[in-house]
């Protein structure tokens, strides 16, 4: 079983569309994250949720809205997609308490045309 | 956002050579992590460090948590073709309790020359 999974793997869409990326984890971890990796491979945190509660929101445009229906899922919805949103988006999880290791999903490559 | 200074930015080596890379920060961290990313995949955790001065190995990989808590290095001995990829360091600020997040380095791209 994959510990952290994301769907879809690839997403190609037109500017102005609304799209969602899904993340699921079977590790039982408390905290989940969304990261954006740009073309230069810089990894930047976007959001984190702990037990369905938003903890971190790193000055991300409000076109991006994370949703956590339960502890095992953290989805990312993006409205009115722009060319600059093209990137690879990674979901990650962290066990919590004193364990700081984060475990990443395989990524979703978003291309906005 | 903040990023850690990671060097070198890229390395071109021959199979069998040893590799060394490091990360430095202006802030102290209570955790240093090292990740490897293969093309088209997510970063995979290699080594986690929790104490200043700690030296930890994982097979041919060895990483150290700097005494000042502001730096860390990763060594790879006797490199093999599957070591190719991008290596990232990541640190966690000790003052963000309840708001834990990692700051990532800029990455070191390792290429093995035939």
Report how far residue A80's alpha carbon sits from residue A68's, in angstroms, rounded to the nearest whole number.
21
Q: Measured between CA atoms, how close is B51 to chain A, in angstroms?
A: 13
Taking only the tens place, the pLDDT of each residue in A66-81 is 999 998 999 999 999 9
If we measure between CA atoms, which residue out of B27, B30, B7 comes closest to residue B19? B7
Mean pLDDT of B20-24: 97
Mean pLDDT of A49-59: 82
Rounded to the nearest 5°, which phi and psi values hold at A78?
-125, 120
Beta bridge partners of B73: B22, B64
pLDDT at residue A22 above 60?
yes
- Please list every residue in chain B whose beta carbon sits closer than 8 Å to the beta carbon of residue A100: 30-31, 33, 48, 50, 92, 100, 102
Q: Which of A10, A102, A103, A105 to mutate to test the interface with B (most CBs of B within 10 A)?
A: A102
Q: Do B100 and A94 touch (CB under 8 A)?
A: yes
Q: Which of B101, B108, B109 to mutate to test the interface with A (most CBs of A within 10 A)?
A: B101
Taking only the tens place, the pLDDT of each residue in A82-112 is 999 999 999 999 987 677 899 999 999 999 9
Taking only the tens place, the pLDDT of each residue in B57-73 is 999 999 999 999 999 99
Taking only the tens place, the pLDDT of each residue in B67-109 is 999 999 999 999 999 999 999 999 988 766 666 788 999 999 9
């Amino acid at each position: 079983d994959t510990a952290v999974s994301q769907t879809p793997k690839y997403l190609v869409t037109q500017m102005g569309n609304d799209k969602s990326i899904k993340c699921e984890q079977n590790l039982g971890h408390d905290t989940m994250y969304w990261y954006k990796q740009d073309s230069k491979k810089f990894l930047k945190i976007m959001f984190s949720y702990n037990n369905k509660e938003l903890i971190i929101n790193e000055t991300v445009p409000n076109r991006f809205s994370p949703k956590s229906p339960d502890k095992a899922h953290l989805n990312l919805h993006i409205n009115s997609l722009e060319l600059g949103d093209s990137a690879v988006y990674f979901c990650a999880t962290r066990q919590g308490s004193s364990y700081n290791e984060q475990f990443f999903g395989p990524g979703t490559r978003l291309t906005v045309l | 956002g903040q990023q850690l200074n990671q060097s070198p930015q890229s390395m071109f080596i021959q199979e069998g050579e040893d590799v060394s890379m490091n990360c430095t920060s202006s802030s102290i961290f209570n955790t240093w992590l090292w990740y490897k990313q293969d093309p088209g995949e997510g970063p995979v955790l290699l080594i986690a460090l929790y104490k200043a001065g700690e030296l930890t190995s994982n097979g041919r990989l060895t990483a150290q948590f700097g005494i000042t808590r502001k730096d860390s290095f990763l060594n790879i001995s006797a490199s093999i073709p599957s070591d190719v990829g991008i290596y990232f360091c990541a640190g966690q600020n000790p003052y963000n309790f309840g708001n834990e997040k990692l700051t990532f380095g800029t990455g070191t791209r390792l290429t093995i020359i035939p």
